[in-house]
Amino acid sequence: MVLGIAGEPRAILSDEPSAQILQAAVTESLVRRDPDGGFVARLATEVPTIANGGARIVTDAATPGGRLVATFELRSDARWQDGEPITADDVRFAFDDDRTAPLTTARRWMSERVERVERINDRTVRFTYRAGERWDLYPLVARVLPAHVLAGVSADKRMQYLREPMHAGPFAVAAWIPGFGMTLSAFPSYVGGAPSLGRIEVRFYSDRGAVVDALRRGEVDVAGAPAVEADLTRTLDRFADGPRLQALYKAANAIEMLRFGTKNTVFTDLRVRQAVELALDRRALVETIFAGRARVPRSYLVAPLWAATEPLDAPHLDRESARGLLAAAGFRTGRLGILERGAERMTVTLQVATGSQARIDAGRRLSGDLASVGIAATVLERSLADVLDTVSRGDFDLALVPERTDDPQLASDRYRGLAGPWFDVLLEAAVAAPEQAEKRSLYAEMQRVWAESLPGLPLYQELLVDVAPRNLEGIQPSPNGDPLTWNARDWRFTPGSN
């Protein structure tokens, strides 16, 4: 099977979009999620839950709200690709690594839900979570890294490992030819059983246009994000919906969010944020870029997530009202039609995270929409890591970034301190709530408060698209942000096919 990706990554274990699809094929974790959002055990013998006794709530005088404690048992046949057994030391080593990750990363946030990690024996490790917290995705924090390979190594050795990791996934890196591609070979001792495919040939292309051309010519069997995105819908409809190939669309638990700066910026004024909401034609954006297939959300959480509700009216375009709000904020039309307030001119910078052509196109359209009400926005394309770091500090005008919504607690925590004190009170209550029904009602109120305070503006729910042969079975696109290769072990060609 030949997989096409756009751009050659610097390292497989990196945040580069082109690396993610490779990373999912060569790494493994204790627990993963299936396409329906349920937990499935991988390197662990089972998912620790209250029902099976693997998880429990421990209370004492110091923590009357209790602590969640989860015990993970490693499978006896869990092996690294070099044949060494995977042990509790590898779990602890990975946790320590996560605790030193950059503050803006999801793995750092997840590790900080944990109070301590204890090695019970070679195959048993216990996670004690923060007091009073009931985090729904608690099993996902347990990861592995090979301590026998990485402990005490030099920075150069560490970088080499990140480039070509030896891990525990269904495929291993067999060869990497710079500028051309790589070969991933099946790992026969994979805990889920030997993969059905013997190998995956990866081909690097200069850009996504070259990947699409390779699909047309039959040089490539499979391509997923970011090599193909939903903004290519009209192109894909012309050739990837025939007897050989199929385009698979899936709404993701993720949003493209326009974030407002919180320091020394005009967007600290709610009236200005509301004006932006009314000035942006999000429905036209979705129609133009995605042929109408993507959805315009109202909340920072989106269906099918259990916590998602959309309590207010659907977004609408009303530029006359937008101009009225800007006038109420003291702005008047000045030179070249740009709004002015005294010596202040409404010239702003819109930072757009790279890695998605659809996001970049959306940023350019937003700039045009803002100009229609007198806001001159200069689009600045920067790496996702750089934009997220800027957003975490609040020192910016506007930023367009992707936000995963599969974990309502993580999604809500992004807006702690930004959506008003009542939002923060509700968030603490949701964190401590023991039952999902109680959490759901709290999240519903939080979404209402969030929509009224408007710390961000959701543009569209991400729409994933992957292209695969019709005779390749086992393909299961996931809405959880997982690359298409999350279950590559199960891929197989139908009998009689190539």
Per-residue pLDDT reduced to its tens digit, 220-273 = 999 988 888 889 888 888 887 778 898 888 888 899 999 999 998 899 999 999
- Answer whether residue 434 shows pLDDT above 90: no
Structure tokens at 180: 């051309």
Output the CA angle 138-144-150, nearest 5 degrees.
145
Element (H, E) at 290: helix 282-290
Higher per-residue confidence, 497 vs 99: 99
Tell me how long the chain is.
Answer: 498
Quickly state the pLDDT bin for 315 (edges 50, 70, 90): low
Identify whether the C-beta of residue 134 lies closer than 8 Å to the C-beta of residue 434. Answer: yes
Residue 171 to residue 488: CA distance in whole angstroms: 8
Q: What is the largest CA-CA distance in the chain?
A: 75
Residue 428 to residue 144: CA distance in whole angstroms: 30
- Answer whether residue 498 shows pLDDT above 80: no
- Answer whether residue 313 shows pLDDT above 80: no
CA atoms 82, 87, 89, 91: torsion sign: positive
Average pLDDT estimate for 296-308: 89
> Which of 168-177, 351-360, 476-485, 489-498 is the most confident on average?
168-177
Model confidence pLDDT, tens digit, residues 39-65:
999 999 999 999 999 999 998 777 777
Average pLDDT estimate for 356-375: 95
Structure tokens at 350: 């819109």
pLDDT of residue 264: 82
Quickly state the pLDDT bin for 162 (edges 50, 70, 90): very high
Q: How many CA atoms lie within 13 A of 49 on its CB side?
A: 10
pLDDT of residue 196: 94
What are the φ and ψ backbone dihedral angles of 175, each rounded to 5 degrees?
A: -160, 150
Quickly state the pLDDT bin for 310 (edges 50, 70, 90): low
What are the φ and ψ backbone dihedral angles of 401, each rounded to 5 degrees?
A: -135, 155
pTM: 0.83
pLDDT of residue 142: 95
pLDDT of residue 227: 87
Strands (E), 130-244: 171-177, 181-186, 199-205
Print burial letters for 430-449: b (CB count within 10 Å at least 16), e (below 16): bbbbeeeeebbebbbbbbbb
Candidates 139, 163, 144; CA nearest to 23 is 163
Q: Tell me the domains of the chain and their CATH numbers.
A: 2-13+163-251+464-493 (3.40.190.10), 31-150 (3.90.76.10), 252-462 (3.10.105.10)
Residue 270 to residue 285: CA distance in whole angstroms: 24
Please give the distance of CA 98 from its chain centroid, rounded to a whole number: 17
Inter-CA distances, 127 with 55, 91, 120, Å:
9, 10, 10
pLDDT of residue 312: 59
* DSSP for residue 74: B
